[in-house]
Amino acid sequence: MKQWVSGSVRLDVFNTRGQIVDVRVDGFRSRGTHMAKWNPIQLPSGTYYYRIMTNGYSEIKKMIILT
């Protein structure tokens, strides 16, 4: 089982070309559950990806924005 600990966290949003369109979180976070609000009003509708990285863990997920 993964042991969640405090540490550096980064949450990036990418377009389909792999370009970073926003960095939502970049810094130290204590152990626990956190939220990152995001208003993509400046972005066109389409498919985007977000990546969270922390303490050797990385995960990428897809999202669709409809404006």
Side chain identity at residue 37, one-letter code? K
3-state secondary structure of 64: strand
Per-residue model confidence as pLDDT tens digits over 42-56 = 899 999 999 999 988
What's the confidence (pLDDT) of residue 14? 97
What's the confidence (pLDDT) of residue 67? 79
**Structure-token pair, residue 56:** 């050797």
For the chain, list residues with pLDDT below 50.
1
Residues 6+ apart with CB under 8 A from 40: 13, 22, 48, 65, 67
Predicted structure pTM score: 0.82
**Structure-token pair, residue 33:** 């559950």
Q: How far apart are the first and last CA of the chain?
A: 39
What's the confidence (pLDDT) of residue 41? 87
What's the confidence (pLDDT) of residue 55? 85
φ/ψ of residue 19, rounded to 5: -85, 135
What's the confidence (pLDDT) of residue 9? 94
